[in-house]
């Protein structure tokens, strides 16, 4: 199976010690987000984990320990936007810390295994179309030698993000404006040798050289593994999502990046409470196993197969 680490929280930034401990032990537990007392045991042995996708805004805590993952196939979805502390309050300096971390990560893994995400895009008086176009080009210039692709998306509104977003003065973003900014981004990206795709967007931008993304990407894993995978689309994601099936090992309300657009954090109090319960030696990300918890063993098996199918 594929491990997603994680759409729900930034494991590389805040929980890498725990993650490496779980790799060493060969398993971890994940609570069901819909039923906290239902827990799945996830096998992390290399012979059943076909690949890992890391989602992060700052991989610095992992950079000097990537050799511990030498038995695994993995790549990074690396979000790097032009927003300031008013939007992403706990992200270190983009210029002095994050961009150099992106470059170091790529030097270690190769440009194909570090995917740049410039998302989500929204408009305000400060973050205008011209602002995005200007800073996207500045980032593309510095990142283009270190990646092959940029994934973009436009801001989605969720009930749990409305209050956080209300302080930013977000402006309407009609389809015409989305098409215009996407076209400009595509032109800039292509001028630096980068391809562009969109994450879970209904809008069709193929006329501008922009494809629909597969963030957990069957084709990329097949290339990295050197063999085909027998795996389906992830039915737990939105219809527009092109990702293949994966097991997410993260927990909602645990990311401390402070991004106001984040759907995975409901409120700061919950984040602080969960973070205080984190134990790097626990088999579960938040807290420990309780007597009332019911543990089931997740059926894990490799999705690799050695014969090409002509069906």
Q: What is the DSSP string of 95-123?
A: IIIIHHHHHHHHHHH-GGGEEEEEEEE-B
The pTM of this model reads 0.95
Residue written as tokens 């801001």?
155
* Distances in whole angstroms, Cα of residue 170 to Cα of each of 122, 124, 128, 243, 252: 7, 5, 10, 29, 25
Q: What is the pLDDT of residue 2?
A: 97
Q: Are the C-beta atoms of 81 and 88 separated by less than 8 Å?
A: yes
Q: What is the pLDDT of residue 24?
A: 97
Q: What is the pLDDT of residue 311?
A: 40
Per-residue model confidence as pLDDT tens for the chain (311 residues): 999 999 999 999 999 999 999 999 999 999 999 898 999 999 999 999 999 999 999 999 999 999 999 999 999 999 999 999 999 999 999 999 999 999 999 999 999 999 999 999 999 999 999 999 999 999 999 999 999 999 999 999 888 888 889 999 999 999 999 999 999 999 999 999 999 999 999 999 999 999 999 999 999 999 999 999 999 998 888 878 999 999 999 999 999 999 999 999 988 899 999 999 999 999 999 999 999 999 999 988 999 986 444 44
The angle at the Cα of 196, spanning 92 to 87, to the nearest 5 degrees, equals 30
Phi, psi of 298 (to 5 degrees): -70, 130
Chain-centroid distance, C-alpha 282: 23
- The domains of the chain, with CATH numbers, are 2-235+248-297 (3.80.30)
Q: Residue 249 is encoded by which pair of tokens?
A: 């090992």
Q: What is the pLDDT of residue 307?
A: 46
* Distance, CA of 57 to CA of 101 (rounded, Å): 10
The helix/strand/coil state of 94 is helix
Give the helix/strand (H/E) hosting 137.
Answer: helix 129-143
* Distance, CA of 172 to CA of 285 (rounded, Å): 38
- Longest CA span, the chain: 58
- Residues 136-175 as b/e (b if ≥16 CB within 10 A, e otherwise) read bbebbebbbebbbbbbbbbeeeeeebeebbeebebeebee
* Distance, CA of 91 to CA of 155 (rounded, Å): 19
Q: Are the C-beta atoms of 296 and 40 separated by less than 8 Å?
A: yes
Q: What is the pLDDT of residue 179?
A: 97
Q: Which residues pair with 117 in a beta bridge?
A: 79, 151
* Distance, CA of 257 to CA of 130 (rounded, Å): 26
């Amino acid at each position: 199976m594929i491990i997603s680490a994680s759409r729900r929280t930034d494991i590389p930034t805040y929980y890498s010690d725990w993650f490496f401990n779980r790799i060493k032990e060969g398993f971890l537990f994940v609570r069901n987000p819909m039923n906290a007392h239902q827990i799945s045991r996830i096998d992390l042995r290399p012979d059943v984990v076909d690949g890992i996708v890391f989602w992060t805004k700052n991989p610095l805590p992992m950079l000097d320990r990537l050799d511990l993952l030498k038995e695994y196939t993995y790549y990074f979805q690396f979000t790097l936007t032009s927003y300031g502390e008013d939007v992403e309050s706990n992200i270190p300096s983009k210029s002095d810390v994050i961009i150099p971390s992106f470059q170091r990560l790529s030097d270690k893994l190769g440009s194909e295994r570090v995917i740049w995400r410039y998302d989500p895009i929204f408009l305000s008086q400060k973050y205008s179309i011209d602002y995005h176009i200007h800073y996207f080009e500045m980032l593309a210039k510095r990142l283009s030698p270190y990646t092959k692709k940029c994934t973009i998306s436009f801001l989605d509104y969720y009930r749990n993000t409305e209050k956080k977003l209300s302080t930013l003065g977000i402006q309407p973003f009609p389809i015409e404006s989305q098409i215009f900014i996407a076209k400009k981004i595509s032109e800039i990206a292509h001028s630096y040798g980068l391809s562009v795709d969109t994450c879970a967007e209904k809008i069709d931008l193929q006329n501008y050289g922009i494809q629909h993304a597969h963030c957990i990407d069957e084709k990329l894993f097949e290339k990295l593994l050197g063999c085909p995978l027998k795996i389906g689309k992830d039915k737990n994601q939105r219809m527009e999502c092109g990702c293949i099936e994966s097991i997410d090992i993260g927990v909602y309300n645990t990311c401390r990046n402070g991004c106001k657009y984040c759907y995975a954090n409901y409120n700061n109090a919950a984040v602080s409470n969960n973070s205080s319960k984190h134990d790097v030696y626990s088999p579960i990300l938040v807290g420990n196993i309780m007597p009332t918890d019911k543990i089931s063993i997740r059926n894990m098996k490799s999705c690799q197969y050695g014969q090409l199918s002509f069906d």
